[in-house]
Structure 1
């Protein structure tokens, strides 16, 4: 057994022993995908998110803002679902993952089948009317029209946190409650997290939770990790789920 195999077994064992596990996911969970406006994507070379995805631009010139917002939605809709999302959904189905806290706005966790997801940056695939607050899915409206409009005539906006806006108080409160009461936190695909997201693993650690970090490279959070496994989230999660299935009767 290699050192890598030892880490997989140790991580799987912690997951099996934990009474409440939460996962924190970020941009690096899926390579090349648009998971947030901070994601590394060629689309943002054409449209600067800090201008086009700013709430002031949406309010003053919604057609301009929707040039980026619409293209972002199209890219997400066409993107393949990374196996990491499916593997986390499988852990939830097995009763081994209570909550996913994500810094991503792309709705991929829900598409994969995860049900208990806290979206700190909101969800770009859900839209609201800026006039009457009517709710829509991005699949229900034509995003070819710039800007897309509600049946009342009002301009639609994505339910994502835009530049110039803050994470909602409700999302922060729900996240802290989950973090303070977990026994284990999986930190997956996180890079340069901003506050308050970056503090969540620290809060979990201070409350006695174990930390498993799965990332392509070390991060500013690695120093608190009980287990750090270097690699792509889909690869490492796949090995963990396989170990669990080979050593328990938790198959779904």
Structure 2
């Protein structure tokens, strides 16, 4: 399988695999590039159709929702329609397989590994593949009240609804309704919004603390499909480096980042299965 790669990349993959086989604590951060390989548009992609006149940055903010909640809600419902049929790619599956192997030692690893998977993505493709993942930027398929923060769940299924499995154990199906009519909270009457961390909002405290702890204590930090230049998430790689970790980047367009020790310049869906074969 390594024959698919250039000789230079093969050397880097084998070097990375050797390091990862020996490591006990590994922290992995995934970004938009991983989801893009499954056909999910990134924030940098140009808006299409009715939304061409808007920038994503101008819609994904508390101020935008305050000004025009219907506009923002409609945009997110449109985004949900775009991605609801997308499936995990080989990178998602490889990470899930690695995580399972690390937890159960069902591999050639000499000892169990602590593999912490963190994502900047709001989709559920990691979960669909079977991973346990920490979401820094929220969940596209969840809703909450903009006023009191109470969670909101659809109560029934209609012709505009779809069932989406958001559970690793396959025992919890939530109903997602694609209607763009605003919904009000049954507790306080506030408008329901996506459970997404918008521009200008703080990251969830528990998720961020877990991510920081994993980065500070890891022996190897892997950045997949993200530039590691946008803060605060970029600070995780810096934190790992400061505490002696080796930094590996998997990205077809590597970023000019002096803290990276090993660069695997290829798509995650190509590199991760090959890397996993070498590790396990």
Q: TM-score, normalised by structure 2?
A: 0.77
Q: Quick check: 122-131 or 163-172, which moved more? A: 163-172
In the TM superposition, what are the counterparts of 1:185-196 in structure 2 within 5 Å? Answer: 185-191=221-227, 193-196=229-232
Instruction: Give 1:113's match in structure 2, choosing from 116, 119, 130.
Output: 130
Instruction: Give 2:118's match in structure 1, choosing from 70, 88, 101.
Output: 101
Aligned counterpart, 2:255:
219
Q: Which runs of 5+ in 1 are unaligned?
A: 246-252
Aligned counterpart, 1:244:
279
Distance 1:39 1:86, change over 3 A: farther
Task: Please say if 1:11 is aligned against 2:46.
Answer: no
Q: Which runs of 5+ in 2 are unaligned?
A: 103-112, 155-173
Provide the aligned length of Structure 1 versus Structure 2: 242
- Structure 1 vs Structure 2 CA RMSD: 2.4
In the TM superposition, what are the counterparts of 1:55-204 in structure 2 within 5 Å? Answer: 55-95=62-102, 96=113, 98-115=115-132, 117-131=133-147, 133-136=149-152, 139-151=174-186, 154-191=190-227, 193-204=229-240
State the distance in 1 between where 2:52 and 2:228 align: 19
Distance 1:46 1:196, change over 3 A: same
Instruction: Give 2:265's match in structure 1, choosing from 225, 230, 237.
Output: 230
SS in 2 for 1:228: strand
Q: Deviation string for 1:200-240 (max 9, x for gaps)? A: 1111011011111111022033x222211110011010111
State the distance in 1 between where 2:234 and 2:147 align: 34
